[in-house]
Amino acid sequence: MNIGFIGSGHVGQALASLFAQAGHSIVLSNRHGVTNLQDVIARLGNSNIKAGTIEDAAAQEIVVLAFPFNTLSQVQPELLEGKLVIDATNYFPKRDGDLPKFIDHKIATSQYVANYFTGSRVVKAFNSFGVVDLPQLSALPAAKKIALPIAGAANDKTIVKNLIIAIGFVPYDAGELKDSFKIQADSNIFGFEGTRPELIAKLKG
């Protein structure tokens, strides 16, 4: 598949690398422009990964949001109209500001993202722990594969589940976006790396 990334920091680079290794074509972008990405592309060293503008990334089949939550408004909503969007962002009050609607769980952060990108199909994924260990964790044997929670509409989650499996992880269906509080950055599973049974037990704890 053709996958675009808006955001090319640690999250974007780690996921782009894994997707490219699985045979997908990647367009990495950020708000600083294509020239800024040349060193990143060279370091990743995979011909399936190319630099592009945000518009280039938005033109791909799937678009991954991998930028700080507080920069959401810098991406025009109509840019992702009709797209399958993977929301890998996290809201952190210290970085993004004290916003009661998120702190008090009046709305799930990914539901807010979906409401912002009206007309897009948003799936929450790849946000439950840091990306530093992703390459090593993706190579674990079947019995020890790490579970990654996802939330969103059923048909859209199927596509993302297949991506998760392709890069060496196990998907865990956490329901709809509106109920995705339990897999946010302020939940008890944030930072947790475990198998599917271990993740289920953690969610019940």
- Give tens-digit pLDDT for 71-100: 999 999 999 999 999 999 999 999 999 999
Structure tokens at 36: 């800024």
User: What does the pLDDT read at residue 134?
Assistant: 85
Tell me the pTM: 0.96
- Give tens-digit pLDDT for 27-69: 999 998 899 899 999 999 999 999 999 999 999 999 999 999 9
Residue 132 has pLDDT above 80, yes or no: no
Q: What's the whole-number mean pLDDT along residues 94-114?
A: 97
Distance, C-alpha 37 to centroid of its chain: 19
User: What does the pLDDT read at residue 169?
Assistant: 96
- Give tens-digit pLDDT for 11-29: 999 999 999 999 999 999 9
Cα maximum dimension of the chain: 47
Residue 135 has pLDDT above 90, yes or no: no
Q: Under a CB-based contact definition with an 8 Å cutoff, are residues 56 and 3 in contact?
A: no
Domain ranges of the chain: 2-204
Mean pLDDT, rounded, of the chain: 95
Neighbours of 38 (CB within 10 A): 10
Task: Give the model's confidence band at 1: pLDDT under 50 very low, under 70 low, under 90 confident, else very high.
Answer: very high
CATH number for domain 2-204, candidates 3.90.330.10, 1.10.10.60, 3.40.50.150, 3.40.50.720: 3.40.50.720
Residue 129 has pLDDT above 90, yes or no: no
Nearest C-alpha neighbor of 28 from the set 163, 40, 18: 40
Distance, C-alpha 89 to centroid of its chain: 6
Q: Under a CB-based contact definition with an 8 Å cutoff, are residues 78 and 56 in contact?
A: no
